[in-house]
Amino acid sequence: MLSKVYSAGLFGIDGFIVSVEVDGQPRLPQFELVGLPDAAVKEAKERVKTACENSGYPFPEAAFLINLAPAYRRKEGSGFDAAILTGIMSVSGLIRRDVTLSDKCFVGELSLSGDFRGVRGVLSMCVAARDAGMKEFFVPWENAAEAAAVEGILVYGVKNMRQLVDHLNGRAVLSPMPRKEISFTARAPYEEDFADVKGQHLAKRAMEIAAAGGHNILLIGPPGTGKSMLAKRLPSILPPLTFEEAIETTKVHSVSGMLTEGTSLLSRRPFRSPHHTMSAVSLIGGGANPLPGEVSLAHNGVLFLDEMPEFPKQITDALRQPIEDETVTITRANGRVTFPCSFMMVAAMNPCRCGYFGDPSGRCTCKIEDVKKYISRISGPMLDRIDIQIELPPLSYEELAARDDNTVCETSETVRNRVCAARSYAAERMAKIAGGADQVKNGRGKTIHCNAQLDAAGIRKYCVATDEANLLLRSAYTSLGLSARGYSRILRVARTIADMAQSELIREEHIAEAIQLRNLDRKYWS
Ligand SMILES: Nc1ncnc2c1ncn2[C@@H]1O[C@H](COP(=O)(O)OP(=O)(O)OP(=O)(O)O)[C@@H](O)[C@H]1O
Ligand SMILES: [Mg+2]
């Protein structure tokens, strides 16, 4: 007797359909699993058997051969238990033979007591099932909200195998999980608000410009001036996630097993703050069964590198390629896995080891050579990938003691609205020049979403400046000793400042402000 049931596996952040063929022959009891299963899949045998018995179903006495197809893809994890169980129950007649299984997909791990346990990557699997034309998706109860974010397929959250069998046999029918409508335009509920940060008007303005153009930013200043505070609040001034971005970001988190029970789609931009002692694999991604790293967990959000000079050189070097490509590709014997990683990077640092170099109080105890050595730990290529650098001076007493209400400082919402306006202005402007929104691409054919993504050709095309602005840039180029890269960065940032002012051309004042956001190069790195 043969039965075919569907399940789903993971490859990178995408799901793929796995067909589970169960053949049961009335011979001496046997249980064999083929089709490139990993150790966790092989252990399904023990879990399924014991779960059956503990749920009050005698495990059928037969020789079972189970084949997971396609055979060329490695099957990982314990999520195939549900499908294997369903196949066995169907072959043995414990699930009625007339129940249609071909339009259903089963994912979930069994505990020995017969309860279903959540697995990672359910969102991606549910998308794959829907795309393969499946009508119903069965998942452990704790993953149901996540799967229900997918439109066009009915999702059933199942607590234990008895529930599943009773539902399929029509004895106690479950209701599908209601699809939660998530409003992505609604105010994103961030706990930390820009209004908490007092003073630091220049730094706040720089953060706003960074958010409007998607520019990476470096904050330098003595301890306790609000660098970490500002960085943490960056997601709250970025435009709300779009539905597509939310799906992609949630997929990455789901595949990493980081979604909490009951989470449907992530509606906030992620903020990841890896410690400088972290390994390259945890940062970039990898492992025998490749998992996304911090850079991918920050996809569509913010990657914060606090105390940047403390990061070992091999780690910051490893970051360069993901920043450039916005994807990470991990090659393994059984194929290449690609994870997305499009993020804004915020780096923070003290200007020296004691933290007080340049502080008006004169309390810095570092020798100038040591300061230079400390600063030079940020390599040139890394610095090249950071469009904006800004210094945070110590707060005055008046600033710190200012009243604690929003009349003193702008809220994240106010700033975010301006950021959104600048981004839509930029999108329209670029679409006008390119001849359609779908034509706004860089040299490598990738769509440009913000000014930070402009390459040399993009800068020539989209960063058109007035004659006065060009003159100012020319004189800055020579007097400040800018490099070619410094020149491009100033133009990109000036383009963003012009977008914030809804100006089609880059004007003198926009160039002047952009130069201000770069002049630490000379102070610290010349
Ligand atoms: N601009 C500010 N407005 C309000 N509070 C501030 C500000 N700056 C610092 N603080 C207070 O100081 C604390 C430390 O700030 P934060 O962690 O942002 O400093 P930092 O610049 O990151 O310092 P470090 O260099 O030590 O990491 C905050 O929790 C806050 O209470
Ligand atoms: Mg800090």
Q: Please, where are the H alpha helices in 66-121?
A: 81-91
Residue 143 sits in the same domain as residue 67: yes
CB under 8 Å to 467, separation ≥6 — which residues?
A: none
| The domain boundary residue, chosen from 134, 151, 168 | 168
What is the C-alpha separation between 431 and 447, in angstroms, rounded? 11
In a domain, 351, yes or no: yes
In a domain, 450, yes or no: yes
Do 297 and 270 touch, CB atoms closer than 8 A? yes
Place of tokens 């990657």: 303
More confident residue, 172 or 380: 172
Residue 187 has pLDDT above 50, yes or no: no
In a domain, 234, yes or no: yes
- Which residue has the CA at smallest separation from atom 10 of ligand 1? 226
Residue 378 sits in the same domain as residue 516: yes
DSSP 3-state assignment of 18?
strand
Residue 43 sits in the same domain as residue 118: yes
CB under 8 Å to 110, separation ≥6 — which residues?
A: 44, 47, 48, 51, 78, 81, 82, 85, 116, 117, 161
Ligand 1 nearest-atom number relative to CA 199: 1
In a domain, 510, yes or no: yes
More confident residue, 169 or 336: 169
At 436 the pLDDT is 78
Q: Ligand 2 mean position to 220 CA, how many Å?
A: 10
176 — pLDDT class (breaks 50, 70, 90)? very high
Residue 112 sits in the same domain as residue 68: yes
| The domain boundary residue, chosen from 131, 151, 168 | 168
More confident residue, 235 or 521: 235
Residue 422 sits in the same domain as residue 340: yes
Instruction: Kindly identify the ligand whose nearest atom is closest to the C-alpha of 273.
Output: 2
Q: Ligand 1 mean position to 266 CA, how many Å?
A: 28
Strand 63-69 relative to strand 271-272, pairing: unpaired
More confident residue, 369 or 408: 369
Q: What is the mean pLDDT of residues 488-502?
A: 94
Q: Taking the CB of residue 400, how many other CB atoms lie within 10 A of it?
A: 12
Strand 30-34 relative to strand 14-25, pairing: unpaired
Tell which residue, 121, 120, 23, 13, has the closest CA to residue 69.
Answer: 23
Q: What is the mean pLDDT of residues 83-102?
A: 93
In a domain, 366, yes or no: yes
What is the C-alpha separation between 493 and 387, in angstroms, rounded? 7
Tell which residue, 452, 347, 422, has the closest CA to residue 392.
Answer: 347
Which tokens is 129 given? 């099932």
* Residue 208 burial by Cβ neighbours in a 10 Å radius (0-12, 13-18, 19+): buried
Do 301 and 340 touch, CB atoms closer than 8 A? no
Would you put residue 488 in left (φ > 0), alpha (ψ -120 to 50) or beta?
alpha
Over residues 447-482, the pLDDT tens digits come to 888 999 888 888 999 999 999 999 999 998 888 877
DSSP 3-state assignment of 303?
strand
Q: Taking the CB of residue 430, how many other CB atoms lie within 10 A of it?
A: 22
**% of the chain residues with pLDDT over 70:** 95
Residue 352 has pLDDT above 50, yes or no: yes
Residue 303 sits in the same domain as residue 342: yes
Ligand 1 nearest-atom number relative to CA 349: 25
More confident residue, 149 or 440: 149
Over residues 16-34, the pLDDT tens digits come to 999 999 999 988 888 899 9
Q: What is the mean pLDDT of residues 231-253?
A: 91
What is the C-alpha separation between 165 and 89, in angstroms, rounded? 8
Residue 462 sits in the same domain as residue 516: yes
Assign residue 520 the CATH number of its domain.
Answer: 3.40.50.300
In a domain, 406, yes or no: yes
Positive or negative: CA dihedral 166, 169, 175, 180 = positive
Ligand 1 pocket (Cβ < 6 Å) reads 197-200, 221, 223-229, 348, 350, 395
Q: Taking the CB of residue 396, how many other CB atoms lie within 10 A of it?
A: 11
Tell which residue, 16, 33, 20, 106, has the closest CA to residue 69.
Answer: 20
201, 218, 228, 229: residue to mutate for ligand 1 pocket, most atoms within 8 A of CB:
229
- Which residue has the CA at smallest separation from atom 6 of ligand 1? 226
- Which residue has the CA at smallest separation from atom 5 of ligand 1? 197
Residue 6 sits in the same domain as residue 128: yes
Tell which residue, 373, 385, 204, has the closest CA to residue 303.
Answer: 385
DSSP 120: S
Do 428 and 434 touch, CB atoms closer than 8 A? no
More confident residue, 174 or 243: 174
**% of the chain residues with pLDDT over 90:** 56
Over residues 414-428, the pLDDT tens digits come to 999 999 999 999 999
Residue 148 sits in the same domain as residue 279: no
Q: Which amino acid is at 402?
A: A
Do 22 and 2 touch, CB atoms closer than 8 A? yes
What is the C-alpha separation between 158 and 167, in angstroms, rounded? 9
Do 477 and 490 touch, CB atoms closer than 8 A? no
What is the C-alpha separation between 105 and 74, in angstroms, rounded? 19
Over residues 50-63, the pLDDT tens digits come to 999 999 998 888 99
Residue 501 sits in the same domain as residue 366: yes
Place of tokens 């609205």: 417
Assign residue 53 the CATH number of its domain.
Answer: 3.30.230.10
Rg of the chain over CA atoms, in angstroms?
A: 28
Residue 278 sits in the same domain as residue 346: yes
Residue 131 sits in the same domain as residue 210: no
Q: What is the mean pLDDT of residues 264-291?
A: 90
Q: What is the mean pLDDT of residues 197-206?
A: 92
In a domain, 173, yes or no: no
At 185 the pLDDT is 45
What is the C-alpha separation between 350 and 263, in angstroms, rounded? 37
Over residues 114-139, the pLDDT tens digits come to 999 999 999 999 999 999 999 999 99
Domain count, the chain: 2
In a domain, 176, yes or no: no
Structural domain harbouring 162: 2-168
What is the C-alpha separation between 243 and 265, in angstroms, rounded? 9
pTM reported for the whole predicted model: 0.87
